[in-house]
């Protein structure tokens, strides 16, 4: 092997290393510069008789998400709907997971909410089963038509005071 062959091998090795580096750089850039959409249940308001809940979709990524939908198995959804839910209220909760509830554009940093039922001491306000947890899938695309699907739990509970208690309002002395 002469000096020209060695130079050629070194040049080919450098080209291969550059191509691998380019591939991984692009891959990591795509993973870090994308929408990241999550769904969760949050309290809208709470009192001593009932708590109203919202379903929240949040894009914590750094790119907008399009065609955002939350999917759930109908059997799983029945675990979430409480005994006090009228057929109309059950349909309102189910509509959150229908194709009609698709969000065309969810900007990065944006949170959108929709009414999601309530739970209270009276049976008529028990639209949701407090503490029930189901698995949902959130599907969405980015602006370049790359598709994403994320699975996550959806649990009906008070996020403030998740451990069972919260402090009252701070009193200044």
pLDDT at position 137 over 80: yes
pLDDT in tens, 36-94: 999 999 988 877 788 899 999 999 999 999 999 999 999 999 999 998 899 999 999 99
Cα–Cα distance for residue pair 63/25, rounded to 1 Å: 18
Average pLDDT over all residues of the chain: 90
pLDDT at position 135 over 90: yes
pLDDT at position 23 over 70: yes
DSSP type of residue 128: B
Confidence of residue 173 (pLDDT cuts 50, 70, 90): low
| Structural domain spans, the chain | 1-31, 33-155
In the chain, the percentage of residues whose pLDDT exceeds 70 is: 96
Q: Which residue has the higher pLDDT, 63 or 30?
A: 63
Residue 121: what pLDDT? Answer: 83
Residue 136: what pLDDT? Answer: 97
Under 8 Å between Cβ of 91 and 116: no
Q: Encoding tokens for residue 7?
A: 């130079």
CATH entry 2.60.40 includes domain 33-155: yes
- Measured CA to CA in angstroms, residue 155 lies from 32, 55, 88, 146 at distances of 27, 10, 22, 28
Residue 171: what pLDDT? Answer: 66
pTM over 0.85: no
Residue 26: what pLDDT? Answer: 86
- Measured CA to CA in angstroms, residue 121 lies from 54, 84, 100, 127 at distances of 18, 11, 32, 11
Residue 172: what pLDDT? Answer: 67
Q: Which residue has the higher pLDDT, 166 or 38?
A: 38
């Amino acid at each position: 092997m002469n000096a020209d062959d060695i130079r050629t091998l070194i040049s080919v090795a450098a080209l291969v290393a550059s191509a691998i580096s380019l591939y991984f750089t692009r891959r990591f850039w795509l993973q870090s510069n994308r929408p990241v959409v999550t769904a969760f249940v949050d309290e809208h308001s709470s009192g001593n008789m009932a708590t109203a809940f919202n379903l929240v979709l949040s894009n914590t990524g750094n790119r907008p998400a399009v065609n955002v939908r939350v999917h759930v198995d109908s059997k799983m959804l029945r675990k979430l709907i409480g005994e006090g839910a009228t057929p109309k209220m059950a349909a309102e909760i189910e509509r959150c997971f229908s194709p009609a509830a698709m969000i065309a554009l969810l900007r990065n940093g944006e949170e959108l909410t929709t009414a999601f039922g309530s739970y209270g001491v009276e049976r008529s306000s028990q639209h949701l089963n407090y503490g029930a947890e189901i698995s949902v899938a959130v599907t969405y695309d980015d602006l370049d038509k790359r598709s994403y699907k994320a699975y996550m739990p959806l649990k009906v509970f008070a996020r403030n005071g998740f451990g069972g208690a919260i402090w009252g309002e701070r009193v200044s002395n």
